[in-house]
Amino acid sequence: MAVTIHEEAIHGRSAAALPAIPAGLRAAGPVIVLLLLGFLAPLLTVAAYAFATPKSFDVFRSFTFANFSAIFDTSNTVWMSFAWSLAFALATVALLAVIAYPIAYGLNRMFGKWSGFIGVLFVFPLFVSENVRLYGWVLFFIKNGVLDGGLKWLGFSGGPEVLYTPGAILFGMLYVYLPFMLFPMSLGIAMIPRDLVDAARDLGASRLMIWREIELPLAMPGILIGMLLTFVLGAGAIAESKILGGQSVITIAQDIEVAFTYAQNWPLGSALALLLVAIVSGLALYVLAKLDLDRILGKR
């Protein structure tokens, strides 16, 4: 009896000494572990390789800035790859914002509450491999392909030389990333209360004023999410430049792939990847922090 009382006293003190873990934290435990293993651990590994000895696998056993020194060497032209990737990403964001907004607006006006479901239909092409879809465009634009052969069959001299140019790369990025801009933009426009628009119209507001003062600000969260997704994906695009652009333009993602495969220089590839992540995340966070809707819309 005395032993039982002693054990209960010990267990009671141990339970009182341990801090209570909130139920929410316990429930989120599996997700936290998954994020740590699936997201943070690979990122830390890449960061560790970026500071390893060049052309070696001495990760976590050496520390050097030689990989970054090689990137910033004046004789290295890798900065052109960074410039091409960022230029393509920015151009894709700007063009898709102009292309997707009328489509999303028309879907919401035509289908109303079903516009979200209709917007999902634009995501269906993502179920097919990106390479397969891009090679389909190669067959369309290639010499004696669908476009060139069709025009010759109609009596014309043939189609324009489109493939393996920067324009073809930009076209491929617009085609691939349209759903990533359209879907969140459609959701943003769907959040606009129609009663508010009707009230503004009844009070005499013009169509341009309704769009500028009501529809655009209320839809801006969806538009910004679409722009952010498109920019991040576009900065790391590689299939479009390899399949549609050939070797006309080398993007930074191609340089990273070459460093990890043919060159077997994982530290250099990791340094390039780490620098790309820093540039893209820094630009995205800077723009989101500085974006002032009131100033853009002329309220200040």
Q: Is residue 167 part of a domain?
A: yes
User: What is the C-alpha to C-alpha distance for residues 104 and 100, in angstroms, rounded to an integer?
Assistant: 6
> What would you measure as the largest C-alpha separation in the chain, in angstroms?
106
- How high is the pLDDT of residue 113? 66
| pLDDT above 80: residue 71 | yes
Q: Is residue 148 part of a domain?
A: yes
Structural domain tally of the chain? 1
- Token reading at 127: 């179920």
- Token reading at 73: 């060497």
Note the pTM of the prediction, 2 decimals. Answer: 0.82
Report pLDDT digits (tens) over 225-267: 899 899 999 999 999 999 998 878 999 999 999 999 999 999 9
Q: Is residue 141 part of a domain?
A: yes
Q: Is residue 6 part of a domain?
A: no
What is the span of the domain harbouring residue 139?
77-297
Report pLDDT digits (tens) over 283-292: 888 877 766 6
Report pLDDT digits (tens) over 8-20: 555 555 555 556 7
Q: Is residue 24 part of a domain?
A: no
Q: Is residue 272 part of a domain?
A: yes
Q: Is residue 34 part of a domain?
A: no
CATH number assigned to the domain comprising residue 221: 1.10.3720.10
**Average pLDDT for 83-97:** 95
Q: Is the dihedral of CA 103, 105, 110, 111 positive or negative?
A: positive
Q: Is residue 16 part of a domain?
A: no
